[in-house]
Amino acid sequence: MSFALDKDFEDVEPVDYTQWEGQPCSIMYSEEYVSTMGILMRLMAGEEYSERALWLTEQGIGLLASHYSIWLYRYDILRSMYSEDEKRLEEELDWLEEIALANQKNYQIWNYRQLIIGLFKQYNYQREFPILAAMLDSDLKNHHVWTYRKWFVEQFDLFDNEREVQFIQQLIETDVRNNSAWSHLFYLMFEKGDSHVKNQIEYVKEKIALSPQNVSAWNYLIGIYDKFKLDITELKDFCLLYVDPEVTSSMAVELLAQIYTSSKETEKAISLYNELGDTYDPIRKNYWDYKISLIKA
């Protein structure tokens, strides 16, 4: 349904945006912005839930997608008018996908999407895969999209969903330094227990071989050991692959120093921390010195 700003809202007294002029940080609004928002803010204040109000929120979002109040107002309208009409809600999600693709950095969209999905009695979650793939395709590390994806997995219990796991592993194949993908994989693999521990240790070791200086993969490996209270001294030989005869990974040196610390081989640990500070990782010298002071204390 379409409306005209000059005809269909004649009864609405627009909010006077000029009243903000002259105050600190006042914005020189465009005429289009003021005429649309002026009416929209008035309808919102009066809590009008109508077809024309719904149309107007779309115009407002078109002008400023990060305007949180408009999203919340739109949700209230939709819920009051269409909460039983799943066909209309599907259309809403279609529309939302277009807006999301045009506003990559916006996060209100994802909170709103959760609210809309919450209105369905039974939601076909398969629908989410294409839009999430498209969003990550243009920004692999979009924090809002990843947070939404975590909610999605939790909401629909997709921990063992093959499509989800494969998609994430594919992202890691493409860019083994994509830390967002590693973080999500950690959640998928280990939230429900320890059944994936062995295969994931092998998996991440292979990935470290591709890029020995990749902190994401080392953190994943150490994260597994910490979460399941495994013995890190098991990793000594693996670390040595990247330390001896040539140091190809400062992360390996760091982990090795930690292993020596826990096995009470303090001299070896101290000398590795010194090498990190002097040679392999000088930016963190203060921290390596602190680690040495802890050993000596």
Partner 1 sequence: MAKDINKNKIDYLLRLLGKSHLMEEDFEDFHQIYYTILRTMTRKAPIQMDVYESETTRAQQKVEEAIRSIYLDVEIDLMTVTTTNCGGSKASTDVIFPPLDVAKHENYCRMCLSSPLPGAFIGLDGNQCWMMYWLSNGHGMLKGVEGLPADISEGISAKISLFVIDEGRNGISSGPFQKGHVASVYAAVLALIAIGDFKTLTNARKGLYDFFYKMKQKDGSFSMTVNGESDARSTYCVVVLSYLLNILDDKLVDHKTLQWLDLCQTYEGGFGGVPNTEAHGGYTYCALAAYYVLLGKEGSTPKEFLTSLRAHIDVDKLLSWLVHRQHLLEGSFDGRTNKLVDACYSFWVGACFAMLEATLEITTLFNRESLKLYMIHCAQGIEMGGFRDKPGKQADFYHTNYSLCGVSVLEHYFTLERNGSWANSFTTEIVDDTNVNTNPVNPIFGLPILQVSACVKYFSANV
Measured from the CB of residue 218, what is the shortest distance to partner 1 in angstroms?
Answer: 10
Closer of 253 and 270 to partner 1 (Cβ): 253
Sign, CA dihedral 175-180-181-186, equals positive
Minimum CB–partner distance for residue 204 and partner 1 (Å): 12
- C-alpha separations of 264 from 29, 234, 295 in Å: 67, 15, 9
Question: Please, which residue, 141 or 163, has the CB nearer to partner 1?
Answer: 141
Q: Is the CB of 1 or the CB of 180 nearer to partner 1? A: 180
Q: How far is the CB of 32 from partner 1 (least distance, A)?
A: 10
Q: Which is nearer to partner 1, 119 or 131 (CB)?
A: 119
Q: What is the closest distance, in whole angstroms, from the C-beta atom of residue 44 to partner 1 in the complex?
A: 6
Amino acid at 294: L
Instruction: Tell me the Cα Rg of the chain.
Output: 27
Task: Tell which residue, 259, 263, 256, has the closest CA to residue 280.
Answer: 256
In angstroms, give the least distance from the CB of 107 to partner 1: 8
Query: Rounded CA gap, 181 and 177, in Å?
Result: 9
Q: Which residues of 25-40 are buried (b: 16+ CB within 10 A; e: fewer)?
A: eeeebeeeeebbbbbb
Which of residues 1 and 28 has its CB atom nearest to partner 1 in the complex? 28
